[in-house]
A and B are shown apart, each in its own frame.
Chain A
Amino acid sequence: MTTRIVELRRGILKKNDELAAGLRASYAAAGVLVLNLVSSPGAGKTAFLEWTLTELRKRGVRVAALVGDLETDNDARRLAASGAPVRQINTHGICHLDAEMIGKHLANWEGVTLGGLDYLFIENVGNLVCPSSYDLGEAIRVVLLSVTEGEDKPLKYPTMFNSADAAVVTKMDLAVPCGFDRWAALKNINEIRPGIRIFETSVKSGVGLEEWLAYLEEQRKGRGHY
């Protein structure tokens, strides 16, 4: 009986990583800035994106969104009200989007080509754990945190917060009634991802949203998409 050790040294998510690398190259070639929005369920991703799509369209910016959801197409219908092209991805129980799902939905999206877009937003499934492992080829990963969730979310989900490029605090209009400890939240985000750009926003009061739009523009310019 022979026993042997075989060295494999193989990435478990290699297939996803390769597909994501292909997507990243096609986004760059088309000159579209792709953002992946992640948060826990109910943090306000859809409301935030609804506002962003509507406002960018008003300014003549070409935007579209892919939206992941376990079962329903409620979010896609809400986002479509902005007038932007929106496509639903139902994962049927899978807790995250992966590069293959993105590739498939981009490949046969009637009337939408990457080259015809300035920004593509991907609203991930509401989950602060699993989506962190799956690269979608995005240029920017945005993590959202609402004031109703508790200031220690970054400490509880360090992987997601550490892998994000920008953080958006949502529902700031509820900060006072919720007793939101702003300094603790900002400190915790910075402890997990030092130096990350943070936007404190509310789509109800409008606070912080101009800074967010300015950031989007700056990121596109910074990447030579203009």
Chain B
Amino acid sequence: MHELSIVTSIVESVTESLAAYPGAQVKEVRLRVGALASVVRESLEFCYEIAAEGTALAGSRLVVNVLPVVMHCVPCGQDVELEGVQSFRCPRCGEPCFDLRQGRELEIDSIEIEDGKEAA
């Protein structure tokens, strides 16, 4: 249950980047969250409302884009997408995969803002 500290970091980070857009109101914050990032989308959304209160992010929407796990399969010689996180085997050949290429992301992708004027 560290979602509250995560959304607090999101609010701080977005607030910082708003310095370049005085007076801007945030409409939407888009996240990229890997399937192995160990955060729960519903908890993020729930905590977000609370953390955003009284900031330029108040009333904005949090959009969580979940990224599947991608591993590199040596026998197949290519990156493969796993269907879930219960088995780290290649879905094509069934061999174990050791090299994680995607799935731990926890990033702010972009924000949608309104009425902001870019600072000179």
List chain A positions with a Cβ less than 8 A from chain B.
1-15, 94-96, 129-130, 132-133, 155, 158-160, 162-163, 190-195
Contact = CB atoms under 8 A, between A and B. Distances in A.
Interface of B: 1-2, 5-6, 9-10, 13-14, 17, 21, 27, 31, 36-39, 85-89, 96-98, 100, 104, 106-116
A191 B107 contact: no
B115 A193 contact: no
A13 B7 CA distance: 10
Contacts of B37: 133, 159
Nearest to B29: A8
A11 B33 CA distance: 10
Contact of B88 (A9, A13, A162): A162
A9 B116 contact: no
Contacts of A163: 36, 104
Closest 5 CB pairs of A and B: A194-B96, A130-B2, A159-B38, A158-B85, A8-B108
A132 B111 contact: no
Given A12-B13, A159-B38, A195-B98, A133 B111 contact: no
Contact of B14 (A8, A96, A129, A133): A8
Given A12-B6, A162-B36, A6 B17 contact: yes
B96 A130 contact: no
A10 B113 contact: no
Contact of A7 (B5, B36, B86, B109): B109
A193 B114 CA distance: 45
A95 B1 CA distance: 7
A140 B6 CA distance: 24
Given A8-B17, A14-B13, A96-B2, 8 more contacts: A3-B114, A8-B109, A9-B110, A11-B106, A12-B9, A133-B106, A194-B97, A195-B96
Contacts of B27: 3
Contacts of B86: 155, 158, 191-192
B113 A190 contact: no
A159 B5 contact: no
B95 to A, nearest CB: 9
Contact of B36 (A11, A94, A130, A159): A159
Given A2-B115, A2-B116, A10-B13, A190 B110 contact: no
Contacts of B113: 3-4, 6
Contacts of A4: 112-113, 116
